[in-house]
């Protein structure tokens, strides 16, 4: 540590979204983040004066660290640095009220409290997320119920991504042996796991301060779900003698393309069903139980074309 360095100090046990902290600082300008004292003391934050308490984060010049030698060896270092910074004229900057909402900007004192804050943070992040259809709704419920435990493992999204690949592989094997009903059910399960991995990976990226990639992993897994869904449709529709390859491929390929296209260009709540892979896989599983996959595929494709023609187009912008 040199006098020219800039030091960021974070109190032990502070739970805060990095995206909420960065806007509070102005480049390399030193600042001690503060908050209203009401409620802060009971959370475990240190009082500064009559009206303000520390927020657990500060950015100070490295030269101030040398003043720690003037304090007892058993002093609380973050607290001591905060007092040194304020006495040296470092400005106080109050964190915005929205940054302190829900589970954000909290002091965590033990594992039990950490578990509760994690659950509260997940609920605040995902409970208001709407859309996505049946698979996304089931995934949200699962993540809100088990997400905290999965995130503790440290590789939750990786495990779910691997589970998607396993489910799709087994569904392919079932299709090979003519058990399309159970294959479609596994594809529906894979669709739920894809949406769950999407939510958990978003939570992992936010907690680590990572930007989303150009092509999220969940999108790539979604393409595999589409491929497996199309393969199961073909496995459920025997190719007739003399039928051309294009004629045999046309219904499932057209349905998959419409499932992708219609939600992108047409507005309206019912259109979400068009891209709901989980719901469509369940419908096809029901059709497979009665050997009626081909007519159901054709009916759904025609219904999507009609929806694309009848419903208003999505506004661009």
**pLDDT cut 90: percent of the chain above it:** 31
**Quick one: pLDDT band at residue 22, thresholds 50, 70, 90?**
confident
Instruction: Please choose, from the candidates 150, 169, 149, the residue with its C-alpha nearest in 3D space to the C-alpha of residue 159.
Output: 150
Q: What's the chain's average pLDDT?
A: 85
Please state the rounded mean pLDDT for residues 29-33: 90
Please state the rounded mean pLDDT for residues 28-53: 88
- The residue assigned the tokens 């506004």 is 315
* Alpha-carbon gap, residue 255 to 237, rounded angstroms: 14
Q: Is the pLDDT reported for residue 25 higher than 80? A: yes
pLDDT at 120: 79
Q: Is the pLDDT reported for residue 162 higher than 80? A: yes
**Quick one: pLDDT band at residue 227, thresholds 50, 70, 90?**
very high
pLDDT at 127: 63
CA distances in angstroms from 210 to 154, 170, 196, 202, 241, listed in the order given: 15, 33, 19, 9, 54
Domain ranges of the chain: 6-107, 111-310
Q: pLDDT (tens digit, 9 = 90+) per residue, 112-160?
A: 887 778 777 777 777 655 556 788 888 888 887 776 666 666 678 888 9
119 against 259, higher pLDDT: 259
pLDDT at 101: 76
């Amino acid at each position: 540590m040199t006098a020219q360095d800039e030091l960021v100090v974070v109190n032990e046990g502070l739970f805060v979204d990095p995206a909420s902290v960065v806007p509070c600082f102005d480049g390399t300008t030193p600042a001690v983040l503060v908050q209203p004292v009401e409620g802060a003391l009971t959370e475990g934050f240190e009082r500064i004066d009559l009206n303000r308490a520390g927020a657990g984060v500060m950015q100070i010049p490295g030269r101030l660290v040398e003043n720690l030698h003037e304090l007892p060896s058993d002093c609380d270092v973050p607290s001591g640095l905060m007092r040194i910074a304020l006495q040296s004229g470092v400005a106080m900057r109050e964190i915005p009220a929205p940054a302190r909402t829900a589970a954000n900007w909290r002091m965590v004192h033990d594992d039990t409290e950490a578990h509760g804050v994690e659950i509260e943070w997940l609920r605040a992040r995902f409970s208001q997320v709407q859309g996505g259809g049946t698979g996304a709704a089931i995934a949200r419920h699962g993540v809100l119920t088990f997400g905290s435990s999965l995130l503790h493992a440290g590789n939750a999204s990786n495990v779910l991504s691997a589970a998607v690949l396993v489910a799709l592989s087994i569904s392919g094997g079932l299709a090979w042996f003519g058990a399309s009903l159970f294959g479609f059910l596994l594809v529906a399960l894979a669709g739920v796991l894809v949406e769950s991995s999407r939510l958990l990976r978003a939570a992992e990226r936010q907690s680590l301060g990572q930007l989303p990639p150009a092509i999220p992993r969940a999108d790539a897994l979604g393409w595999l779900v589409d491929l497996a869904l199309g393969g199961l449709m073909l496995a459920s529709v025997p190719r007739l003698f003399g039928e051309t390859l294009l004629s045999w491929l046309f219904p499932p390929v057209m349905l998959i393309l419409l499932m992708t296209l219609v939600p992108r260009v047409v507005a309206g709540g019912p259109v979400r069903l068009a891209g709901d892979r989980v719901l469509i896989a369940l419908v096809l599983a029901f059709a497979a139980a009665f050997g009626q996959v081909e007519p159901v595929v054709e009916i759904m494709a025609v219904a999507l074309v009609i929806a694309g023609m009848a419903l208003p187009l999505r506004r661009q912008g």
